[in-house]
Chain A
């Protein structure tokens, strides 16, 4: 099975499913910096305009996940594992009112995984 750059926990998939039923198709963009930084932001698909500066990381729960290319350069040695915790905030991210926040956990890729990712690089 191919190495995935981004995955989601069961709790995250369940929340994505619930939000999809309420808001329609979704998308994610990994934020950086300041108060709610480092948080994955969840929006109705198309609400956030991605562009040349972004990189597509994969899908979670059927929703595409993006981050800025320059940020990716610093993060690429880690797998992002999208989880859910109790909390509030998240600026314009859709889950805020649910009393839940998506949270990015991370795992450092093994040497083998890194080699495979480099060989199959789509960046």
Chain B
């Protein structure tokens, strides 16, 4: 079936013509009165306007958050937990509406938003609603008279800059632990995908006290930068690329505040020869694991964009794998049969095409795809579509080293385990990796030795709450998606208490 396009009479989703900032519990127009056009990548046409905010708006949002932080920080964990659960329930009651909104905003296939993005966001809220109630401080008995008590306290006000590849899910990944820990938030959505988070906000805004969650939209340089530099925030959380990551650390150093950064990757997906020992459902799963590069049109920081295949099985394995890639149905994102939708923006499409060009120049062999996708239906002729592409080459090529953020896979072979490890770790990044083997020792040793924060073993692209997610090397700092993220949103208060009634005798 195909969902009706938003803003048509029968659609589940009706976007407003215009979205203002959400500050102190109310919608406020931007101080400068300017708005920008928000385009759907499905059709390449404008579907709403978004506040183009500036420093004045960020100042107002940070002030509102600071006003709210004391009362919010003193709410009981039970109260905050109940609010997060209610947020999750509201989203669950509106799952289809949110999925369609997210697809229209980002271009991804609706079967992914229905089965992954939105359900994962809901579960994430429930996970942090749970773990915050189970969290305890510690007590250390230093000696018979002296006790060290450790309490968790919220940081205060946190700035969060959200990427465009999973606008709602990445928003909730950051919102849930911050609220659970008792912080107030100023959130800046990506300017490529600013509208869908407002559909979430409309569902939950009455659940939170004014000023606890503030949303300021606009361009990175006009709204994101003043937020990252603001003296009134106590932490910045950012997902994006390395240069901006460095700039955010630099700004944070001016205020001596912590940052968490998630900065991308170039994940190896390694297939050992024993995956082909049997022709069974496990092999079928491994082939599917190879094709996972096309999930979310490849716009995932952990896209398995380098496939390393043992030479002894290469011919047989790649033949089956390419057949599966050819079976990817690139279609209308609102059609539930569509497997791959549109790239999120025009500039993203241009960048992917520039990488297809450099891959060919470097001499990589195109095994399948290699071009922009032709779209037959008239509605989508201005949308942003790419053919799923597989290159064969070697690890020193740029298409093996730089994150393309598109449905582009670079394949190479290896002879020995040592060679596989060398190739796997020969990258600037260390966010994700995949290991496929029927031999548990191979899988375990490899998983431990790869320099990456998440090694999927006989699986790929699963993101359950309670499995820590974050990078080694240039892929960032911090671990999201796990209760340990609470530590990144909390201060430690130590009370060092003496129960002795005797003076020390020093003075």
Residues on A lying within 8 angstroms of B by beta carbon are: 29-39, 41, 43, 47-49, 68, 70-71, 74-75, 77-78, 85-94, 96-97, 101, 103-108
Contacts and interface: CB of A to CB of B under 8 A. Distances in A.
A30 B347 CA distance: 16
A43 to B, nearest CB: 8
Contacts of A93: 220-221
B351 A39 contact: yes
Nearest to A34: B264
A74 B220 contact: no
B50 to A, nearest CB: 11
A34 B405 CA distance: 7
Interface stretch (B286-294, B353-361, B482-490): B353-361
Contact of A32 (B224, B346, B402): B402
A105 B247 contact: no
Given A34-B263, A78-B398, A93-B221, 10 more contacts: A33-B403, A34-B163, A35-B240, A43-B247, A48-B247, A89-B190, A89-B220, A92-B220, A94-B221, A97-B221
Contact of A34 (B36, B219, B403): B403
Contacts of A78: 358, 362, 398
Given A33-B475, A37-B405, A74-B401, A68 B191 contact: no
B475 A101 contact: no
Given A74-B401, A86-B347, A87-B345, A96 B361 contact: no
B173 interface: no
Interface residues of B, number: 54
Of A33, A71, A86, A87, the most chain B CB neighbours within 10 A belong to: A33
B222 interface: yes
A85 B398 contact: no
Of B192, B301, B351, the most chain A CB neighbours within 10 A belong to: B351
Nearest to B358: A106
Interface string B325-359: 00000000000000000000111101100110110
Nearest to B253: A49
Nearest to A94: B221
Given A33-B403, A37-B241, A41-B244, A88 B263 contact: no
B85 interface: no
A98 B95 CA distance: 36
B72 interface: no
Identify the 4 closest CB pairs spanning chains A and B, nearest first: A87-B347, A33-B264, A34-B264, A31-B243
